[in-house]
Amino acid sequence: MPPRRRPDQIPVNLAIEHDRVIQLERQVEQLTAQLAASRANQNPFQALHPETSSDEVEGDPRWESGMRTEVPEFRGSMQPEEFLEWIGIADEILEFKRVPANERVALVATRFRGRAAAWWQQFKLARNRAGKPKLSDWEKMKQKLRKEFLPHNFTRLMYQRLQNLRQGMRSVDEYTTEFYELLVRNDIEETQDQLVSRYCGGLRTQILDMVNLFDPVTVTEAHQRALQLEKTLSRKSNSGQTLNFGGGMSSRNRASSSSENTGSRPGVSASSGSYTGPRNPTNNVQTPRATTGGFRCFGYGETGHRLSECPRPAKRVLFIDPAEFNEEDAEIIEEPQS
């Protein structure tokens, strides 16, 4: 008689199958993990896809390795605008790298070269001698840099440039770029209407008058309108026409166009286009008049010569004082004429 199995005893074949199922599940999990890792390697910007978990993205810094995010070198010999641009780039990189606040000064100082490096060494030595702690605040560091490498009147100069900014002979894009740069340099806090008025006030008069017709409410809208008008004016100037608010060509262009159309027709007025020539073309030829010398002799009244060139001898007349005049003794003396 075979022995009876206890109720809690499992057959051997069932136990083996159970172990195999567990092993298969583990293999499936491993394959799934490997597949996910290979997909992450093929697409380093997987954070853009919603199916990727945030934990995997934060733990995988490979997507940052392909980007150059070093703070540019600073030698202390830049122009004021270039220096301020360097400060802005350094701020962006420190924020991007999530550099702790107490380590930002030390990190930026490693990029100093030339005059900037010499100034930094002297600055640290002076603080050490004065018994002051090391400078670790990035905001204070920027204040020290501005004081050292910017002109003492830089703020006033930037504000004067903004106040006197005009487009002149530059393009609209060039004028707009400098306008935004000066706004950032001066840290202007104005309403949107004030900014639009400031921007439009610097445009050329011809563009300004037409931009005001659209009544822009933002600087961006005013910029786009000015660009369109600049292109229109450029096309008009290339075609030899000037833009008129009433549409079409100006009076000068209309006159020149009319003169071109009527210039080949004799007797046609360029201003009115009407025929002003002689009605009978046979009368155009005029007979020349018989002309004389044009001179008259004042001595004898003859024409053809002057008095100084008169061939006749000059008349000589004697004048007698009336008080001594005696009719009996008076004689008129006149030279004989030849």
pLDDT value for 44: 53
**Contacts with 250 (C-beta within 8 Å, 6 or more apart), sequence order:** 241, 242, 244
Output the DSSP codes for 132-163.
PPPP--HHHHHHHHHHHHS-TTHHHHHHHHHH
Rounded Cα distance, 194 and 214, in Å: 16
The pTM score is 0.48
Per-residue CA distances from 155 to 150, 175, 253, 304, 323 (Å): 9, 20, 48, 87, 102
Q: Are 173 and 180 in contact (CB under 8 A)?
A: no
pLDDT value for 13: 67
Q: Which residues of the chain have pLDDT under 70?
A: 1-15, 39-68, 240-295, 298, 307, 313-338
Write the pLDDT tens digit of every residue in 106-115.
999 999 999 9
pLDDT value for 63: 53
pLDDT value for 69: 79
Phi and psi, residue 303, nearest 5°:
-100, 160
Surface-to-core class of residue 240, CB atoms within 10 Å of its CB (0-12 exposed, 13-18 middle, 19+ buried): exposed
- CA-CA-CA-CA torsion sign (321, 327, 330, 331): positive
The residue type found at 80 is P
Token output for 268: 């046609």
pLDDT value for 37: 73
Write the pLDDT tens digit of every residue in 162-197.
999 999 999 999 999 999 989 988 888 889 999 999
Which DSSP state fits 80?
Answer: H
**Which residue blocks in the chain are alpha helix, DSSP H?**
12-42, 54-58, 62-65, 80-97, 104-109, 114-129, 138-149, 154-163, 172-186, 192-201, 205-214, 219-238, 251-262
pLDDT value for 316: 61
Phi and psi, residue 329, nearest 5°:
-90, -5
